[in-house]
Amino acid sequence: MSPLIIREHDKKLIWPDDLNEPGQSYQKLANITDDAGFKHEVILEDIGEQARLYLRHIESNEVSANYMLEFALEAPEGFPERIPQVISAFVGDEYRAVKLSQHVYRLIMAHYGVVVSDTQQTAGGIYIWLYMALGNDVLINVMKIHGEKLEYQLNAAGKPEAYCGELDLLEQAGDTIWGGPDDVVAEINLERLGFKPTHQDMQHIVLAARLNTNS
């Protein structure tokens, strides 16, 4: 699972019960096919400053996942005007092994043009970003947060730090990206992921992923 589960979910998967009522802001997005080949219905509720995604496993009619997005960040030139940051994810136990979140992140990219990571990551969330760095169809930038503004983190050559089809390089840079306060670091076994934990607060660093139109 990706970011930390927050109280709004109350650790209970929900499906909107007012889909057909007038005046609602629900939108049906394209179905997602998970790594096991099963399809999930996706409903987006976008209310401006926040949005929720509701997923339901079509064959069983079970709610499979909920996600919460926030649009509080201002990005540099070249990014869409609205920047969705995943601030919460809650995936049903039986759907965590089929890389459901990875497919959801790609759907968010396709819909909004970008997806930004949470400032606090679980080990599962880190895996999602490493998996996204496998292919050449996703461009990942390392970003700094200053107040409500996103800024590129620059590499040694003075250019925006970016990864595309470079999982190994992103993993090598892991100790400069992922970390957090003690209560978060304790949940992350960075050594198991292949790099040495820094045990310093890295909440000012996030990742921003966009579909690579040049792939």
The enclosing domain of 99 has a CATH number of 3.40.630
Sign of CA dihedral 74, 79, 80, 83: negative
What is residue 92's predicted lDDT score, i.e. its pLDDT?
92
Residues of the chain short of pLDDT 70, as ranges, are 1-11, 121-122, 179-203, 215
Question: 88 is in which domain, residue-wise?
Answer: 7-211
What is residue 176's predicted lDDT score, i.e. its pLDDT?
72
Between CA 31 and CA 42 the distance in angstroms is 6
Would you say residue 150 lies in a domain? yes
Would you say residue 206 lies in a domain? yes
Would you say residue 1 lies in a domain? no
Residue with tokens 């995604």: 53
Number of domains in the chain: 1
Say whether 201 sits in a helix, a strand or coil. coil
Between CA 13 and CA 119 the distance in angstroms is 23
Say whether 129 sits in a helix, a strand or coil. helix
Between CA 68 and CA 168 the distance in angstroms is 29
Would you say residue 2 lies in a domain? no
pTM of the model: 0.83
What is the tens place of the pLDDT at every residue in 189-208? 555 555 555 555 566 789 99
> How wide is the angle at C-alpha 136 spanned by C-alphas 148 and 143, nearest 5°?
15
User: CA nearest 80: which of 111, 118, 104, 49?
Assistant: 111
